[in-house]
Amino acid sequence: MADICLMVEGQEDLTWERWFQMADAAEALGFGGLFPSDHLTALSGVSGRQALA
């Protein structure tokens, strides 16, 4: 059986506090995993956003 996982765009205004909240929720809801994207900065060129860097 396959697990359903979540992939989150961490460069789009995601803070560590929000990341931890999502991790807790994903675990509580039974998702198989939670993964960040491999982009550390915004792809849209907006530099003023939070990022998990």
The pLDDT of residue 29 is 97
Average pLDDT rounded to a whole number, residues 39-50: 65
Full domain range(s) for residue 12: 1-53
Task: Count structural domains, the chain.
Answer: 1
The string of pLDDT tens digits covering residues 10-40 is 767 778 898 999 999 999 999 999 998 776 6
Backbone angles phi, psi at 18, to 5 degrees: -65, -40
Q: Copy the structure tokens of residue 49.
A: 């956003």
N-to-C CA span, the chain:
34
Q: How far apart are CA 35 and CA 9, in angstroms?
A: 9
Global pTM value: 0.68
